[in-house]
Amino acid sequence: MGRNPTTLLRKFHQARWDEPIILEMSTPGERGVLVRQAEKAVQTEVGDGLSAIPAGLRRTTSPQLPEVNQVRVLRHFMHLSQETMGTDVTIDISQGTCTMKYSPKVQEHIATRHPGMADVHPWQPESTMQGLLEVIYKLDHFLREISGLDRFTFQPGGGAQGVYTGASMVRAYHAARGDRDRSEVITTMFSHPCDSAAPATAGFKIITLMPDKMGYPDVAALRAALSERTAAIFITNPEDTGIYNPRIQEYVQAAHEAGALCYYDQANANGMLGIARAKEAGFDLCHFNLHKTFSVPHQCMGGSVGAVGVREDLAKFLPVPTVEFDGRQYFLNYEASASIGKIRSFFGNPQSMLKAYAWIMQHGADGLREAAECSVLNNNYLEKKLSEVPGVSVHYAADKRKLEQIRYSWEKLFQDTGVGTEDVMRRMADYGLQHYWMSHPPWIVPQPFTLEPCESYSKDDLDEYAAVLRQISKEAYEDPELVKTAPRNQVVHKVPEPSIDEPERIAVTWRQYLKKK
Amino acid sequence: MKKLGLVVNPVAGMGGRVGLKGSDGPDILRRARELGAVPESPCRAMQTLQVISRIKPQIEVITYPHEMGEDEARRSGFSPAVIGSITMGATTAADTQRAAREMENQGVDLILFAGGDGTARDVYQAVGQRVPALGIPSGVKIHSAVYAVTPRHAGEVAVRYLEGKLSLQEAEVMDIDEEAFRAGTVSAKLFGYLRVPEERRFVQRAKSGGIRAERETLVGIASDVIDNMIPECLYLVGPGTTTRVIMQELALANTLLGVDVVCNKRLVASDANERDLVRRLSGRRAMIVLSVIGGQGYILGRGNQQLSPAVIRTVGKENIIVVATKEKLVSLDGRPLLVDTGDEEIDRMLSGYIQVTTGYRDYCMVRVAS
Amino acid sequence: MIKEKTVFPYIPNSAPEVKAQMLEEVGASDIMDLYAEIPERLRFPGRMNLPEPILDEYSLKRHLTDLLDKNQNCMDFLNFLGAGCAQHFVPAVCDEINGRGEFLTAYVGESYADHGKWQALFEYCSLMGELLDMDVLSCPLYDGAQAAATSVRMAARINGRREILIPQTMNPETHQVLVNYCKPDLSLAEIGFDPGTGQMDLDQLSQEISSQTAAVLIENPSYLGFLEPAAAEIGNIAHDHGAEFIVFTDPICLGVVAPPAQYGANIVCGDFQPLGMHLQAGGGQGGFIATRDDMKYVSEFKDLMFGITETIQEGEYGFGEVLFDRTSYGSRERGKEYTGTTTGLWAITAAVYLSLMGPRGMEETGRTIMQMSQYAAKQLGKISGIRLAFRSPFFKEFVINFDQSKKTVVEVNRLLLEHNIFGGKDLSRDFPELGQSSLYCVTETKTKEDIDRLTSVLNEVI
């Protein structure tokens, strides 16, 4: 019993419940929960209430929702949660660029359960929300210090929406200058795809710079791409490869000379807290993903905040409302004539802002810096361990120090054994590890995988992780079919066709599936 | 039961090992043998077959006699169906072509051929686009894009294709003037397009950004070019599969291997030669639309020689539109796009950076070198 | 005394011994060696000016609790605020499931290790599909406003047109989001309403609509609470002109109100916050978009779609990502959008909610809401100085006008606040044509006592 002390491998098996789809679990007449009925006196006054609904709008056939008793519903979703490998249960170094750090339970409990958060209505009078507004106000000031920029908004519901907000502000900025020609945005191949997709949504043409042989975006290409049509450059640094571009200032200067703004996608900020900031590099706008760097949980791709910061002269374009303090009270300011308006309803995800606030309050300047340093140390340590695993290589800047994540390659393994990154990805779950993330398309690095051992992971965790990859490499060389037919100890077996693009195979709801069976 | 055709050109690559370029013609072959050259392709083919042997029970191998496939297949543990007849030790291009045709008649699902550019041309001449094919590299420098990266890789791709996991893509077959090549210059022409199983490097994992299929990207590229077309301006649409989509979206007849001229979204000339182009350009506003040809990334000089230095000088660098998918650019692996017009001055003029259209309102800044 | 460097519980390798060991293994003498790639001039000098940390967990908990204690909440106060975010009953099992650590902390894991998450999200789509009577949904969006904005872009992509017609009574926040989102290439035109009913002016609609109209979007129920009885007719007008008919709806009404698919909607969107999410000061929102199973629509969704599919094991099903070859459907890259981290956990919560509710629960909830809100409207309508702004049927929300009382909504709400009541949303700024009006939201969480209390207090203050 217990993890093998030498190999560090576990005899893991994921919970496998053979769980049906909830719509298959219906028993006519069963109730999952009973709901409040109107009082008799109310019924006397207004009748059944339904005759008020105009004839053409009355629902005549019941929705075909399943009828399941509460016990079974609970059990069903508990099974599904057991069949999910959240960061709480695994060494999640796997989801590189996502910064899967520990979401402290103390802040989780308060943010979800305290009625002063859970039961607050966004339209409540501001005098009744002072605690909430104080959190937002202070978080704004923390991020100003951390980034060096002057004002933050927390309205965007995620990093991509943050980039979209930035692009909207860039659009407003040039319009206010009377410059109608700024139709292009420049980004790089290794920046997040949202750095091109979100500005494109805001109406810009996108020019992408290809990486040079070292993996940096090509400076000469940038100069060739800059013109009086350039509205802004949108880049991530360090990029997804984990390489910090030391010439970043040159980029920013070149862009400014062309009259363009510079947006800093700080999804990969975790290694740089307290060490390098957007301001010193010259950026005009930036965003942080609160669910990455600032410990807000990832929530099955949900509930986050893309905190967008700007220089003072761009603050007038921020979405409304902003949170301000008049000396006595915190208030929501909707008066911003140059504002881009709104990106999202209300003022963002306050419970997530509270968690980020709590995390910063618990660590302080020294703690943030410690987090950054340890994440970089972890990454370099893991790189060293993986350099001993046959078949692994680092595609770019192999001789340079990387920051908090690295994009590796299994190209050699693939050439030697025919086992590729997707096979390894499936197999690792048999050892209790979350599938690693490979790369954004296009796959410039062949057979890629991107790992980010942020500061939440101990040396022992890193050793175990490396041990698993070493084991799978061994399996690939000795018995490739074992890896290629993985997973074996998981909830389900391999899906041979995970990309579904024939119309006849598309079934995104149970009813669609039944119709096509 | 899937049928796999196997054609080995036993003399391919013989020149390379002893410093001769190409191995066409009995003279070159004799010279190579004198210099001690031994056949390359047989052992390369066997590397491929070794990988394929894991699906041996599910496939039937059909091949040509002796050194044109039968030997390699048997030595790799297969019991192939042997068709046709050859003169051992004296195989020629005609044999390759006959083999491919006969395999087509046998209804093979894929033709694997081991050889070089010449072998690829022979297979193409024989079956065109009617049968999917894939090359096992065994020659000298290969210009055609129909080859796998390594013999093992060819095996992997073949297996996945026969298992139904890969789709087909068109890849360029290049016609190299072998004599000129031996003399030190490369003079290549686009010969045709074979349908080759495509390995999807472009796996879509949508964490953020967007989900797109390649076809839609091509349509996006075409739409971008078309939406920006200037009235009365001539568009010289070069050869290739990416430029073809532009013609398809305009519902105009397309010359896959040649240059078509479009104006006001209508076809003005099909498969124009250089003289024709020069004549039409006189006094007119014009733009050139170029595909990226083949694995080496040429935009000029490998199959679009009708776009001569004179034509390019008249049109001007700023009026050249290059179209390519991001995946194509990525496959260059950090290398620049290449130009080889035969005119050093024009090559120099074109070098530097060019904005490539990679989608609708989507571009890449790419280096160009000569 | 030299202050010892803190070892943080969430940063295991901040323990000095292990840190030193690791540094040695990576061949660095100092941690800053690892930052060699960042030039000196880009480094932040010194220490960030942040508050001194609250290191121990107990003190942090107190600090956070003290902060949140400063807020009033809708359990202690009697709440009648709606306007895009509504107070509904949240079953305990919903909180139980979205509190599960596995779901809370999962992200983009593949469909093996995260099979449970993929299945839960598939079930969300499936259950919403039944409620909406439509076959296709994507993964959730940020909120209803985003769902409306994307629906509009989808329509424009489908028919290549540029004009969108929206109701003047639309949720102002949704409207603002739409304005921003449509800026690059789409134009929005508002259709007015009948002052007596609030319902869309069909004559004006018929005049404004043209062959350039990409879509007609209505809210049903409206932001202002009323139902649009002429919805099907609006849909016909849209279709007669080749435009898409988009309906923004409130899913919690769909146990008793017909789903828009049944009266001609092509694209249905909305916010599913009412299905099991606490108010969370606006943090519980989630957007959905649904269409029928027609590749014309399916290929235009911008977000992730999970499809059920086979594994290599007979009889077993797994999940895959739906990608599209959009060749035949002529979709251009025009109006391209982006996707990202949105509201996955809330979608799973909605799946739990709908599973618990079943058809009976949805019907009864819908009925209770209808009854309580009608009762409230009736009681308030009796107060002199107050009148109902619209005579239309409504679901859950209705507009009250205070003009005759000579009091502003601001005043009224201030007085209500003194009685620990949150009065309805002040509409006087966004809808000046409605005078001093307020939007009251009465859900199944309001008892007769609650409403009677509101009535008596209002009677008092007016």
- C-alpha span between B16 and B182 (Å, rounded): 11
- Of B263, B270, B279, B267, nearest in space to B230 by CA: B263
Q: Which of B40-44, C120-124, C430-434 has the lowest mean pLDDT?
A: B40-44
> Residue C449 corresponds to which tokens in the numbers above?
């006592």
Q: What is the mean pLDDT of chain C?
A: 94
- Residue C454 and residue C385 in one domain: yes
**End-to-end C-alpha distance for chain C, whole angstroms:** 67
Residue C408 and residue C346 share a domain: no
Closest CA to B363 of A117, A295, A200, A121: A200
Residues of A in contact with C114 (CB under 8 A): 83-85, 434-435
- My answer on whether C315 and C368 are in the same domain is no
Closest chain A residue to C336, measured at CA = A201
Question: Residue C51: inside a domain, yes or no?
Answer: no
How distant, in Å, are the alpha carbons of A42, A96, B79, C395 from that of A47?
Answer: 8, 58, 84, 15
Closest CA of chain C from A105, distance in Å: 10
A425: in domain:
no
Instruction: Tell me how far apart the alpha carbons of residues B181 and B139 are, in angstroms, rounded to a whole number.
Output: 14
CATH of the domain at A113: 3.40.640.10
pLDDT value at residue A496: 86
Is the residue at C112 inside a domain?
Answer: yes
What's the angle, vertex CA C253, arms to CA C248 and CA C259, rounded to 5? 60
What's the confidence (pLDDT) of residue A498?
A: 82
pLDDT score of B179: 63
Q: Does residue C350 sit in the same domain as residue C418?
A: no
Residue A160 lies in a domain: yes
First to last CA, chain B: 48
Check if C61 contacts A (Cβ < 8 Å): yes
| Distance between CA atoms of residues B354 and B366, nearest Å | 6
Give the CA angle between residues A124, A125, A129 to the nearest 5°.
75
Region of poorest pLDDT, from A73-77, A336-340, A409-413: A336-340
| Rounded Cα distance, C241 and C237, in Å | 7
pLDDT grade for A241, boundaries at 50, 70 and 90: confident
Name residues 53-72 of chain C within 8 A of B (Cβ).
none
Separation between Cα atoms, residue C172 and residue C165, nearest integer Å? 15
pLDDT at C359: 98
Q: How many whole angstroms separate alpha carbon B237 and alpha carbon B258?
A: 8
Given a contact cutoff of 8 angstroms between Cβ atoms, the answer to whether A300 and C121 are in contact is yes
Q: Which residue of B has its CA nearest to C331?
A: B216
Residue A486 inside a domain? The answer is no
Closest CA to B201 of C455, C279, C134, A442: A442
Of C273, C305, C346, nearest to C95 by C-alpha is C346
ipTM of predicted complex? 0.97
> Which two three-digit tokens encode residue A349?
């995800």
Q: Which residues of C209-218 are buried (b: 16+ CB within 10 A; e: fewer)?
A: beeebbbbbb
Beta carbons of B209 and C338 less than 8 Å apart? yes
Q: Range of C194's domain?
A: 92-354
**A242 DSSP assignment:** S
Tell me if B361 and C336 make a contact (CB, 8 A cut-off).
Answer: yes
> Would A124 be classed as within a structural domain?
yes
Q: Measure the CA–CA gap between C11 and A456, rounded to whole angstroms.
A: 5
Residue C196's H or E segment, with its range, is none
Shared domain for C240 and C112, answered yes or no, is yes
Residue A169 lies in a domain: yes
Residues 6 or more apart from C139 whose CB is under 8 A from it?
A301, C121, C125, C303, C304, C305, C306, C342, C344, C347
Contact B204 C341 (CB under 8 A): no
SS3 content of chain C, % helix, strand, coil (to 5): 40, 15, 40
**pLDDT averaged per 10 residues, chain B (length 370):** 93 69 68 78 90 93 94 94 88 92 96 91 95 85 81 89 85 77 68 85 35 72 96 95 95 92 96 92 95 85 85 94 90 87 90 94 94
What's the DSSP call for residue A207?
E
Q: Is residue C52 part of a domain?
A: no
C239: Cβ–Cβ under 8 A, 6 or more apart, which residues? C245, C264
Give the closest of A197, A209, A446 to B365, CB-based. Answer: A209
Confidence class for position A297, pLDDT limits 50, 70, 90: very high
pLDDT of residue C329: 37
Whether the predicted pLDDT of C348 surpasses 90: yes
Q: What pLDDT is stored for residue C150 in this prediction?
A: 96
Six token digits for residue A178: 């009377």
Give yes or no: residues C138 and C256 share one domain. yes
Q: Could you give the CA distance from residue C251 to residue C275 in angstroms, rounded to a whole number?
A: 8
Using the 3D structure, point to which of C321, C354, C387 is the last residue of a domain: C354
Task: Name the residue among A302, B198, A131, A66 with its Cα closest to residue C68.
Answer: A131
- What CATH number is attached to the domain comprising C439? 3.90.1150.10
Alpha carbon A134 to its chain centroid, in Å, reads 26
Q: Give the β-pairing of C187-191 and A406-409.
A: unpaired
pLDDT-derived band at C375 (thresholds 50, 70, 90) equals very high
Q: How far apart are CA A435 and CA A85, in angstroms?
A: 9
Could you give the CA distance from residue A403 to residue A270 in angstroms, rounded to a whole number? 9
What's the pLDDT score for residue B202? 44
Residue from the list C323, C332, C336 with its beta carbon closest to the beta carbon of B204 = C323
Q: What confidence category does residue A216 fall into, taking pLDDT thresholds of 50, 70 and 90?
A: confident
Band the pLDDT of C328: cuts 50, 70, 90: very low
State the pLDDT at residue C335: 54
Round to whole Å and give the CA distance between A41 and C448: 8
The CA R_g of chain A, rounded to the nearest whole Å, is 26
Asked which of C354, C382, C406 is the last residue of a domain, the reply is: C354
One DSSP character per residue, A22-43 reads: GGG---TT--S---PPPPHHHH
**CA A373 from chain center: how many Å?**
21
The reply to whether C349 and C366 lie within a common domain is: no
Residue that is last in its domain, among C302, C335, C354: C354
- B33 Cβ contact partners less than 8 Å away, ≥ 6 residues apart: B14
Q: Looking at the structure, do residues C344 and C365 belong to the same domain, yes or no?
A: no
Task: Collect all residues with Cβ–Cβ distance below 8 Å to A243 and sequence separation of at least 6.
Answer: A215, A216, A396, A397, A400, A402, A403, C37
- C211 with C101, same domain? yes
Q: What is the pLDDT of residue B217?
A: 84
- Does residue C334 sit within a domain? yes
Nearest to A288 by CA among A162, A470, A419: A162
Contact between A188 and A209 under an 8 Å Cβ cutoff? The reply is yes
- Residue C202, pLDDT > 80, answer yes
Question: Which pLDDT score is estimated for B203?
Answer: 41
What strand order describes the sheet that includes B110-115? B81-82, B59-63, B2-8, B110-115, B133-137
Q: Distance between CA atoms of A292 and A301, rounded to whole angstroms?
A: 11
Q: Which of A205-214, A346-355, C356-365 has the lowest mean pLDDT?
A: A205-214
How many residue contacts between A and C have a Cβ separation below 8 Å? 715
Q: Are residues C392 and C338 in the same domain?
A: no
What is the distance in angstroms between the Cα of A338 and the nearest Cα belonging to chain C? Answer: 13
Give the least confident one: A95-104, A122-131, A273-282, B206-215: B206-215
Q: Which residues contact C64 (CB under 8 A, 6 or more apart)?
A: A106, A107, A110, A114, A354, A358
Range of the domain at A324: 109-361
In a domain, C17, yes or no: no
**Cβ–Cβ contacts within 10 Å for residue A385, how many?**
18
Would C30 be classed as within a structural domain? no
Residues A193, A199, A202, A205: is their CA dihedral positive or negative?
negative
Domain check: are C448 and C306 in the same one? no
pLDDT on residue C420: 97
Angle at B13 between CA B10 and CA B15, to 5 degrees: 115
pLDDT for the residue numbered B150: 82
Number of domains in chain C: 2
The answer to whether residue C323 scores a pLDDT higher than 50 is yes
Tokens of C129: 């599909």
The reply to whether B209 touches chain C by the CB within 8 Å rule is yes
Q: Does C311 lie in the same domain as C341?
A: yes
In a domain, C39, yes or no: no
Q: Which residue has the tokens 């990805």?
A: A425
Q: Residue C340, CB half-sphere, CA atoms under 13 Å: how many? A: 29
What pLDDT is stored for residue A14 in this prediction? 95
Nearest CA in chain A to B363: A207
Cβ-defined contact of C323 to B210 (cutoff 8 Å): no
Q: Is pLDDT at C250 greater than 80 in this prediction?
A: yes
- What is the reported pLDDT for B206? 30
Best A206, A241, A435, A484 residue to mutate vs chain B (most B CBs within 10 Å): A206
pLDDT band with cut points at 50, 70 and 90 for residue A192: confident
Smallest Cβ–Cβ distance between B204 and the set A192, A422, A499 belongs to A499
Residue A263 inside a domain? The answer is yes
CA–CA gap between residue A394 and residue A407 (Å, rounded): 7
Backbone angles phi, psi at C435, to 5 degrees: 65, -145
Residue C62 within a domain: no
Query: Number of folded domains in chain A?
Result: 1
Query: pTM of the prediction?
Result: 0.92
Q: C343 CB near a chain A CB, below 8 Å?
A: yes
Q: What is the CATH number of the domain that holds C299?
A: 3.40.640.10
Q: B51 vs A207: CB contact, 8 Å cut-off?
A: no
DSSP states along C77-115:
SEE---TT-------HHHHHHHT-HHHHH--S--TTTTH
Name the DSSP class of B84: S
A92 in Cβ contact with C120 (< 8 Å): no
Q: For residues C28 and A346, is the Cβ–Cβ distance under 8 A?
A: no
Instruction: Using CB atoms within 10 Å of the CB of residue A5, give its burial: 0 to 12 exposed, 13 to 18 middle, 19+ buried.
Output: exposed
